[in-house]
Amino acid sequence: MPKTAKINKADKVQEEQPPLLPADKPNSRLTLLLKEYLQDDEIESIWNAYRLSKKAHEGQKRSSGEDYITHPVSVACIAAKFHLDAASIQAALLHDVVEDTSITVEEIEKNFNPQVAQLVGGLSKLDKINFDDATHAQAENFRKMLLAMSQDVRVILVKLSDRLHNMQTLNHLKPSKRIRIAQETTDIYSPIANRLGLNSLYQELEDLAFRHIHPLRYKTINKAILAARGNRKEVVGRILDDIQKKLKSFRIKAKVSGREKNESSIHRKMLKKHTSFSQINDIYAFRVIVEDQNDCYLALGALHSLYKPIAGKFKDYIAIPKANGYQSLHTTLFGPFGTPVEVQIRTDSMHKLAEAGVAAHWLYKTKDAHVTQLQQQTNQWLKKLLEIQSDDSDSLEFLEHLKVDLFPDEVYVFTPKGKIFALPKGSTTIDFAYAVHTDVGNSAVAVKVNQELVPLREEVKTGDHIEIITAPLAKPNPAWLNFVITGKARSQIRTYLRSAESQDLVVLGNSMLNNALKAFHIDPNAIKKKYWDKLILDYHLKSKEEVLTEIALGKKINVMVAHQLTSIMDGVKKTKTQSKFLDVITIKGSEDMAVELASCCHPIPGDPILGYINKGKGLIIHTHDCPVIRKFNLDPERWVDVEWEPNSDRLYKVSLNILVSNERGMLAQMAAAISEASSNIENVNLEESDGSNFVNINFVVQVKNRIHLAEIIRSLRKINKISRITRVKVAK
């Protein structure tokens, strides 16, 4: 059985590389790579792309002083290692010509084919567009690239090859630019490589980025690794021998190798554990490659009989693969001299997939079912990008969603039927609901985790069984945006709220306009479409709904719109004074998005109220005695008469300040009294004692109306230790 004893990176001898240029010569690096898997006619089509690229970049130099053509050829070499098809290699060679030369995407399509042109278009940055700042431009470029990737995953495989070569040659740039590109890599590109299962590429990008973002830390850790090698060489050799002998005794055929963890991986562990390098013992990891899946578990048992496993350090990614398709058994053992020993056990096909990820489809031309499943999972993830994009969020919001979804730490949870969902660490039950389906998230009212009811903001943990309880009339709560973390959940909640707000504003605007039309003795149903079309044209708007929304937001006055509508209609005379005959607008209490209850006076049904149209915000409801009305000189034309709709079933928050004797058990008595009055306590806090026998307690309770509030106050007054109860209207 072979074993790899030499694991020192510094001891590896650099093999002599074939020449890079001219790329179309028989002994060039790219030619040798392409001949491994492509036909002669395909290779010839690639040389056509190379010659066009070389001609287009003629005279251009890289920061290193090399001819620019060395970059696209190097990118093509990296892409060829993944055995990408001819169109992808052509795109790799041409990926900068649209940005940096006069050649257009249309010319590429004419000279090659639509597929190559589409790939090059997806790889090209947005040009000739002005942005407010560099951050917006960068975010919009990411969005363009990732949406192109959602149409064709080869776009990102070539882009990652491009990024890897840029990172390998970063030393020739200014320090500020190096740090920016390295940070961009660690924020977006290396997580994407990880998400697509491109493990080797991910590790190299991470290490290169760490080297440039934290050069001193990199040098310190690298120096410490080199110093520790001599001391640990004997221990590592012994562990390799022990593993080999134990597997042989169990008659398990295996390849055993040791590898040194890279500097960025050790740095992450130091940060996570808040320890120094000297306290990180497991800088070496061991890999066992066996013949089939059964042998994985047999090997695990053999190693657990060799060294004691560390509790809580075993992970079975074979039974439950990672979202990127990765499969392996992970265990950590107590090795000789108390050294922790990390071991990964997998089959050869699992190992290939771990290194190549979604690129395994091209690299091995396999029909393996697991690769097909991985492609389906990747397509689902890419589809999520489109779902996020369907929201009218800007590019920075889209990038924020994406970064969360790329977060490498994941938890694995189950539906009641046993289906597995992978979610980012820190996800809540609402994130899970939206992962199941948008409709499930939008109608969620309660949740059970492991058969127990928990709050909707509860964080989920690996192994949780989650059941979402829905209701037909339920809708998303804006407060959910304070705790959900997945891009899909945030996007869908915002989409719903914007839609609901739009619908509510249209309804409110329609009510306000109809009210004004009745004052002009015009039946709203009598206004024909042609009159509306003329009004929409005059206002330079797109639809009737936009007109109604502008009325609700106070951007247009309902009386003026009614006046203009009726003036368009033939034979109708109007006077502006008729606006005094406007009817009262009924407030149902359910127009959450279009009607706002003023925070200065906290009106509830039963309170005399007035409505003020705040330009851009909609209708704000105040009580008649609200101090804001007296304090500010508000435009009287924006006030409208409003009244509560009877029998509203909505609950409203009311603040109560209670002065009570400072005795044991009083809080419990008051809570019981509020509960007896069929109310719920939303918040309670005690003001700091002034040393007297009395204390002020502030309650926020839920009430239906003033009558319900009166019942609560009567219930509280039965407690003889209460001295005073005051409804707090003005926010402090």
Query: Over the stretch 230-283, which tens digit does the pLDDT of each residue have?
Result: 666 677 788 889 999 999 999 999 999 887 777 888 888 788 777 777 666 566
Whether residues 179 and 282 share a domain: the answer is no
Whether residues 303 and 448 share a domain: the answer is no
Whether residues 118 and 148 share a domain: the answer is yes
Is 335 contained in some domain? yes
Please tell me the predicted confidence (pLDDT) of residue 581.
44
Is 99 part of the annotated catalytic residue set?
A: yes
- Among 607, 628, 644, give the residue marking a domain's end: 644
Closest CA to 711 of 686, 687, 681, 676: 676
- Among 576, 611, 644, give the residue marking a domain's end: 644
Gyration radius from the chain CA atoms:
34
For the segment 458-463, the average pLDDT, to the nearest whole number, is 88
Whether residues 238 and 114 share a domain: the answer is no
- Burial letters for 88-109: b for 16+ Cβ neighbours within 10 Å, e otherwise? bbbbbbbbbbbeebebebeebb
Q: What would the pLDDT profile of 653-682 be if each residue is shown by its tens digit? A: 888 999 998 888 888 899 999 988 989 888
Is 221 contained in some domain? no
Which amino acid, 410? E
CATH number at residue 345: 3.30.460.10
3-state SS class at 299: helix
Would you give the DSSP letter of residue 459? Answer: B
Whether residues 166 and 109 share a domain: the answer is yes
Q: What would the pLDDT profile of 106-152 be if each residue is shown by its tens digit? A: 999 988 988 899 888 888 764 444 445 566 666 666 666 666 666 77
Please count the structural domains in the chain.
5
365, pLDDT greater than 60: no
Phi-psi region at 602: left, alpha or beta (left = phi > 0; alpha = psi -120 to 50): left
pLDDT band at residue 320, thresholds of 50, 70 and 90? Answer: confident
Is 2 contained in some domain? no
The parent domain of residue 695 ranges over: 652-728
3-state SS class at 490: helix
Is 100 part of the annotated catalytic residue set?
A: yes
Does the pTM exceed 0.95?
no
Is 90 contained in some domain? yes
Whether residues 396 and 422 share a domain: the answer is yes
Q: What is the mean pLDDT of the chain?
A: 80
H-helix or E-strand containing 247?
helix 215-249
Whether residues 669 and 612 share a domain: the answer is no
Is 721 contained in some domain? yes
Whether residues 63 and 160 share a domain: the answer is yes
Report how far residue 65's alpha carbon sits from residue 331's, in angstroms, rounded to the nearest whole number.
48
Whether residues 18 and 159 share a domain: the answer is yes
Which amino acid, 644? W
Whether residues 605 and 704 share a domain: the answer is no
Top-ranked range on mean pLDDT: pick from 134-138, 151-155, 195-199, 456-460: 456-460
CATH number at residue 30: 1.10.3210.10
CATH number at residue 399: 3.10.20.30
CATH number at residue 665: 3.30.70.260
- Among 488, 505, 534, give the residue marking a domain's end: 488
Is 220 contained in some domain? no
Whether residues 58 and 96 share a domain: the answer is yes
Q: What would the pLDDT profile of 480-501 be if each residue is shown by its tens digit? A: 988 898 888 888 888 887 777 7
Active-site hit among 99, 241, 538, 637: 99
Is 618 contained in some domain? yes
Is 1 contained in some domain? no
Q: Three-state SS across 348-407? A: HHHHHHHHHHHHHHHHHCCCCHHHHHHHHHHHHHHHHHHHHHHCCCCHHHHHHHHHHHCC
Active-site hit among 24, 67, 85, 100: 100
pLDDT band at residue 628, thresholds of 50, 70 and 90? Answer: confident
Please tell me the predicted confidence (pLDDT) of residue 189.
86
Whether residues 130 and 31 share a domain: the answer is yes
